[in-house]
Structure formats: C-alpha cells, structure tokens
C-alpha cells in the first residue's frame, strides 16, 4: 500500500477510515478479488481496467466497490459462454453476451462497433443476455478516440419508478454521447435516474443516508434509507423529462435484443450507434469544428463568482491525470471487504 504524500493539496483527503492505493495496487486488489468471484485472465483485466479508470475519474461508487456487487450477483454464479455475434450485416451486429457481466459484453460490442465503422462508415451494434455494464463513457471514449461520433444507451431491469408510480418499471437507463475534437474526446454521459443504483448500494454498505428526494421504499414513500431504497426504487431525474428519456432508453434496449433472452421487455440491452464524420461531412474537419464549438462555449461571459465554464467530461479527465500520480482513495471498510473475498 502506498503511503499518503504529505501534501495538503491532494485531490482526495486521507483519513483514519480510508486507504490510498496506487493504480498498480488497486489493479492487483481488483484482480485478486475478481478471481475469487470467478473472473480471471483477460476478462478480469477488462473489468478492472474500467473500475480503476472510474475511480481515477472520481466516480467512487463505480470503482472497486463494484467487485463486491459482481461477487454477490446471482448471475455471476450461473454458467457463462463466450460473447458472440448471432446476427450480422455490414452495418450492424447483434451480440449474445453469454451471461457475462456487462463490462465484458459492452467492451466486446464497442470493439465490434469500431471495426464496422472503420469498414462501412457507420454501425449499429446491440448486446443482450448480460447485466450491469458500468460507466457508459468508458466505452464511448474508446470509440471516440478512433475519430468517430457515437451514442450509447444501456437499458436495465426495473429500478426506477415511473412518474406517479409506487413500483419500479424502468432501469436506471444511462445515455451517453461522444464527439472527437482536436483536444480529445468530448463526452456527455448521464443516467436518467436521480441517482445510480450502485451509488445507493455503496451508501447501504457504509450505512450512509441518501440525498433528499431520490429514493422510495417498497410502498413508494420517499426515504433516505439506502437499504430501504434497494427494496423499493429510485426516482427519475428532472421529473417528467428524465422519465421520458428513461422510456426512450428502455425502448432502445429492445432494439439491442433485451427481450430475446427470456421474453422480458424490462431487461438489459446495450446499444451503440456510431458514425465516421466523413460519411456526413466529406472533406470537412469535424474535429476542428467541434473544438471551435467547445471554445465558444467556454469563452461565454461568466456570471459573478464563476471561475470557469466547463464542458462535460472535462473535470473527469483532469482528475484522472492527477489521481494517476496521487493514487486512489477508497473507504477502509470497502478495502477490507475486498481483501476478505
């Protein structure tokens, strides 16, 4: 374990209940814990690479604590098969995730997306028979770094209450857009739920209260008790607007094959739509135009007290570079749980 640098300007504060790990140490801890959960070799490395990157970008609940969720998920103990394409055209592919966790199924689908866009200029790739896939922007960034524009959505099993409902009917259903620019990827990634499920799970593990207004118990009553919300549901973000977006993502999950495994229309489906900008704008420089758009947004006159206008993903990319040097801080209780696996 890396000792904490004596620096008051560290991005993440150290405390008696935290542990600071280098990237290498976090990776080894994740690989060892995943091996006990049944994942090893390249599959384990694919999972851990995202979990560590999530932590580097500042998404605590999407980092190493997710190994505990994978280990406890009933699907992890069921048989798995290699991810494979079951239907294909020059512009599309339908992928059977083989009951592998979504980190693997979505990663392989992103690779297929890149290959098809390179060959045909655009692609539509869907994956089913899988489950939780983590942070959408991880896959989108991978595709954008190849020079392509991409939209990625991930439908899921019911965890979110419909507007006015008492029981969950929608997944947390994130949606993500990615655009190449001269200064690197521009990523807009958001869940359509007021809080992501695994943030709720982390609060429950640590005995922490949730923010007001995001969770409901099994009777549909508002609560801050994370454990009660796991037996109830989450609200959509932004009221009816987030609710509408959540329905759209659930529907796009059907296009990715979410109902093919067991005929259930409320299930996991990962869909990638990507295009080479040259297909739409032959001879133009999309990256340059995108950079100009970002520049104009950031140069907008600021309101009093605002130091900078940031673009989505800018904070995460900056923090990633700092944490590569400073290390990753996790709760000691989570560290001990991972060691206990």
Residues 269 and 134 in one domain: yes
| pLDDT for residue 61 | 82
Range of the domain at 102: 82-194+235-280
Q: Is residue 49 part of a domain?
A: yes
Q: Is residue 36 part of a domain?
A: yes
**Residue 329: its H or E element:** strand 328-331
- Could you read off the pLDDT of 276-294 as tens digits, one per residue? 999 999 988 999 999 999 9
When pLDDT is averaged across residues 41-59 and rounded to a whole number, the result is 97
When pLDDT is averaged across residues 316-334 and rounded to a whole number, the result is 95
Residues 88 and 70 in one domain: no
Query: What residues have CB less than 8 Å from 72, skipping those under 6 apart?
Result: none
When pLDDT is averaged across residues 126-139 and rounded to a whole number, the result is 96
Task: State how far the Cα of 83 lies from the Cα of 105, in Å rounded to an integer.
Answer: 6
When pLDDT is averaged across residues 147-166 and rounded to a whole number, the result is 96
Which CATH number is 87's domain given? Answer: 3.30.1370.60
Between β-strands 149-155 and 175-179, what pairing exists: parallel, antiparallel or unpaired? antiparallel
| pLDDT for residue 181 | 97
Give the number of other Cβ atoms within 10 Å of residue 288's Cβ: 11
| pLDDT for residue 201 | 87
| pTM, two decimal places | 0.91
Task: State how far the Cα of 232 lies from the Cα of 223, in Å rounded to an integer.
Answer: 10
Residues 145 and 87 in one domain: yes
Q: Is residue 27 part of a domain?
A: yes
In this prediction, residue 205 has a pLDDT band, given cuts at 50, 70 and 90, of confident
Task: Read off the DSSP letter of residue 89.
Answer: E
In this prediction, residue 196 has a pLDDT band, given cuts at 50, 70 and 90, of confident
Checking 74-82 for CB contacts under 8 A at 24+ apart, the result is 75/99, 75/101, 75/131, 76/37, 76/38, 76/101, 77/38
Confidence check: pLDDT of 5 > 70:
no
Task: State how far the Cα of 325 lies from the Cα of 341, in Å rounded to an integer.
Answer: 28
Residues 67 and 148 in one domain: no
Residues 128 and 245 in one domain: yes
Residues 97 and 163 in one domain: yes
Collapsing DSSP states into helix, strand and coil, what is residue 88? strand
Task: Read off the DSSP letter of residue 66.
Answer: H
Q: Is residue 175 part of a domain?
A: yes
Residues 273 and 254 in one domain: yes
Classify each residue of 66-90 as buried b or exposed e, where b means 16 or more C-beta atoms within 10 Å of its C-beta.
bbbbbbeeebbeeebeebeeeeeee
Collapsing DSSP states into helix, strand and coil, what is residue 271? strand
| pLDDT for residue 220 | 93
| pLDDT for residue 60 | 87
Residues 118 and 176 in one domain: yes
Tokens of 136: 């959408």
Residues 240 and 163 in one domain: yes
| pLDDT for residue 21 | 96
Residues 146 and 255 in one domain: yes
Confidence check: pLDDT of 4 > 60:
no
Alpha helices in the chain (DSSP H): 23-36, 41-56, 65-72, 102-120, 136-144, 197-206, 226-230, 240-255, 277-280, 286-298, 314-326, 332-340
In this prediction, residue 8 has a pLDDT band, given cuts at 50, 70 and 90, of low
- Could you read off the pLDDT of 265-279 as tens digits, one per residue? 999 999 999 999 999
CA distances from 206 to 61, 260, 299, 330, 331 (A): 11, 37, 41, 12, 9
Confidence check: pLDDT of 215 > 60:
yes
| pLDDT for residue 1 | 57
Q: Is residue 288 part of a domain?
A: no
- Mean pLDDT rounded to a whole number for the chain: 94
**Residues of the chain above pLDDT 70, percent:** 98
Do 83 and 100 touch, CB atoms closer than 8 A?
yes
Q: Is residue 204 part of a domain?
A: no
Look at residues 93, 133, 88 and name the one whose alpha carbon lies nearest to residue 111: 93
| pLDDT for residue 77 | 85
| pLDDT for residue 41 | 94
- Count of domains for the chain: 2
When pLDDT is averaged across residues 295-307 and rounded to a whole number, the result is 97
Range from 15-19, 58-62, 108-112, 295-299 carrying the lowest mean pLDDT: 58-62
In this prediction, residue 244 has a pLDDT band, given cuts at 50, 70 and 90, of very high
| pLDDT for residue 2 | 52
Q: Is residue 223 part of a domain?
A: no
Confidence check: pLDDT of 89 > 60:
yes
Which CATH number is 336's domain given? Answer: 1.10.1530.10
| pLDDT for residue 189 | 96
Q: Is residue 57 part of a domain?
A: yes
Residues 178 and 31 in one domain: no
- Could you read off the pLDDT of 92-103 as tens digits, one per residue? 999 999 999 999
Q: Angle of helix 41-56 relative to helix 102-120, nearest 10 degrees?
A: 90
When pLDDT is averaged across residues 227-256 and rounded to a whole number, the result is 95
Residues 40 and 69 in one domain: yes
């Amino acid at each position: 374990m890396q000792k904490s640098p004596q620096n008051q300007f560290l991005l993440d504060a150290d405390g008696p209940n935290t542990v600071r790990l280098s990237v290498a140490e976090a990776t080894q801890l994740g690989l060892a814990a995943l091996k006990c959960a049944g994942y090893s070799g390249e599959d384990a490395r694919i999972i851990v690479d995202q979990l560590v990157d999530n932590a580097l970008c500042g998404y605590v609940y999407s980092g190493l604590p997710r190994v505990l969720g994978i280990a406890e998920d009933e699907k992890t103990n069921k048989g798995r098969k290699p991810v494979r394409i079951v239907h294909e055209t020059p512009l599309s592919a339908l992928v059977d995730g083989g009951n592998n966790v979504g980190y693997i199924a979505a990663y392989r689908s992103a690779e297929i997306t890149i290959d098809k866009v390179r060959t045909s200029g655009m692609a539509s790739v869907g994956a089913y028979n899988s489950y939780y896939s983590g942070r959408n922007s991880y896959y989108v960034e991978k595709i954008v770094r190849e020079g392509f524009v991409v939209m990625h959505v991930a439908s899921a099993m019911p965890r979110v209450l419909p507007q006015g409902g008492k029981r969950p009917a929608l997944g947390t259903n994130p949606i993500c857009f990615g655009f190449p620019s001269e200064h690197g990827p521009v990523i807009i990634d958001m869940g359509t739920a007021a809080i992501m499920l695994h943030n709720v799970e982390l609060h429950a593990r640590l005995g922490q209260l949730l923010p007001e207004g995001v969770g409901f118990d099994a009777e549909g009553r508002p609560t801050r008790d994370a454990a009660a919300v796991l037996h109830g549901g989450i609200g959509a973000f932004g009221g009816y607007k987030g609710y509408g977006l959540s329905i759209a993502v659930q529907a796009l999950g059907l296009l990715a094959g979410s109902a093919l495994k067991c005929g259930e229309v409320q299930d996991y489906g990962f869909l990638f739509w990507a295009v080479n900008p040259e297909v739409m704008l032959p001879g133009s420089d999309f990256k340059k135009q995108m950079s100009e758009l970002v520049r104009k947004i950031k140069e907008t006159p600021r309101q009093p007290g605002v130091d900078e206008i940031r673009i989505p993903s800018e904070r995460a990319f900056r923090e990633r570079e700092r944490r590569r040097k400073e290390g990753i801080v996790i709760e000691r209780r989570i560290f001990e749980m991972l060691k206990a696996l």
